[in-house]
Structure 1
Amino acid sequence: MRAVIQRVSQASCTVGGEVTGAIEQGLLVLIGIEESDTMADIEWLAQKLVNLRIFSDEQGLMNKSIQDVNGNMLFISQFTLFAQTKKGNRPSFIRAGKPDFAKPMYEKMAAYLSQLLGKEVQLGIFGADMKIDLRNDGPVTIMMNTKDKDNY
C-alpha cells in the first residue's frame, strides 16, 4: 500500500455534483493498493495514520496525533499512486490492485480506521471520477509505503 497523507484544515470529495465526504481539521489520505497487500499492511498503515504526530501542540511543534486533536479523516482510493513512468510518457498502472481485490481492501481499511478513531471515516467512491478539494495545513504532506517500512 502506498499512501499520501495531507494535514488539512478542510477537505471534501464530490462525485457527480454530490459531496460524498467532507471534513474540517484532520487528514486527507490518498491510498493506493496493490495485489500483494495483506491485512498486515492495513493494520500497520492504519496504526501509523492514527498515531502520526503531525498536528501542532501549544508550542507550535508537531507533537499531536489526529486522535489528540479530535480530528477527522477523508479516505480516498487512488490507484494512480502506483503509476510507473519509466518507459514513454503514458503511465502504466500494472502494479495497482484490480478492483475486485482493491475495493474490499479499501473497505476493510476504512472500517478499521473508523474503529481505531472511534468515529466514521469520510470516504470517496471507489473507482469513481472524484473531485477532491482541500486546504493543506502547513503544508504538511507525507508519503508512506507498507513495502518499505524501514524508511517510514
Structure 2
Amino acid sequence: MKAIVQRVTKASVSVDGELVSEIKRGLCIFLGISKDDKIEDVNYMAQKVLSIRLFDDEDEKRWMKSVKDLSLELLCISQFTLYHTWKGNKPDFRQAMPTEDSKKLYQAFLERVKTLHKPELVKDGIFGKVRSVLIENDGPVTVEIVSPLKDTKDKAELEEDEK
C-alpha cells in the first residue's frame, strides 16, 4: 500500500462537476492499493497517516504535530495509478489490486482512520469515478508513505528478524 500525502490549507473533490467532499486545513491522501496488500497494510497506513508530524506546534516549531494532534481534516482519494510500471511510454497497472478487492481495502482504510480519528473529520471521493481534485498545498509539503512489506529493504529486515 502506498500513499502520497499532501499538507493542505484546503482541498476538494468533484465528480462530473458536482462537489463531493471538501476539507479545510489538514491532509489530502492519495491511496494506492497493490495486488498483494492485506488488512495489515490498511492498519499500518491508517496509523501512520494519523501520526506523521507535518505541522508546526503552537510555538511555530516545525514538524511537531500530527493531523490527529490538531484535530484536522483528511481527504482520502483512491488512486490505483500509484501502482504503475512502464511499458515503453505507456503506464501499466498490473501491480494495482483489481477494482472490487481494492474497494474493500479502501473502505477498510477509511473505517480504520475514522475509528482512530474523529469520523466527521474524514472525507473521501467516490471510489472508481473520474474525479477532479483541487488542492491548495501548504508549504508545499508532500510525502510518500509505503507499507513496510512493500519496501524491499524493510521486507528483508522483517524476514531477517523472523529467523
Give me the TM-score of the superposition, normalised by structure 2.
0.88
Correspondence 1:138 to 2:139? yes
Deviates more, 1:52-61 or 1:4-13: 52-61
Q: Mapping of 1:49-128 within 5 angstroms? A: 49-57=49-57, 58-85=59-86, 87-120=87-120, 121-128=122-129
RMSD: 1.4
Q: Which has the larger radius of gyration?
A: 2
Cα distance, 1:59 vs structure 2: 2.6
The aligned counterpart of 2:6 is 6
Separation in structure 2 between the aligned mates of residue 26 and residue 45 of structure 1, nearest angstrom: 17
Shift of 1:129: 0.5
Unaligned runs of 5+ in 2: 156-163
Q: Hey, which bits of structure 1, 4+ residues long, moved more than 6 A?
A: none
Q: Give the equivalent residue in structure 1 for 2:38.
A: 38
* Structure 1: distance between partners of 2:77 and 2:32: 9
What TM-score, normalized to structure 1?
0.94
Which 5+ residue runs of structure 1 have no aligned equivalent? none
Distance 2:74 2:6 in 1: 10
Please state how far the C-alpha of 1:145 moved relative to its aligned partner.
1.2
SS, match of residue 95 in structure 2: coil
Q: Deviations over 1:74-115 (max 9, x none)?
A: 000000001112x31110001011011100110110011011
Matched, 1:18 2:29: no
Distance 1:107 1:17 in 2: 24
Looking at structure 2, the residues matched to 133 and 118 of structure 1 have their Cα atoms a distance apart, in angstroms, of 23
Partner letter of residue 109 of structure 1? Answer: F
Deviation at 1:119, TM superposition (A): 2.1
Counting aligned pairs with the same residue, the percent is 39
Residues paired across the two proteins, number: 150
Q: What's the offset of the Cα at 1:150? A: 3.7
**Which residue type is aligned with residue 116 of structure 2?**
L
Q: How far has the Cα of 1:16 moved from its partner?
A: 1.1
Deviations 1:121-150, CA, capped at 9 Å, x for gaps: 111111101000010001110001111284
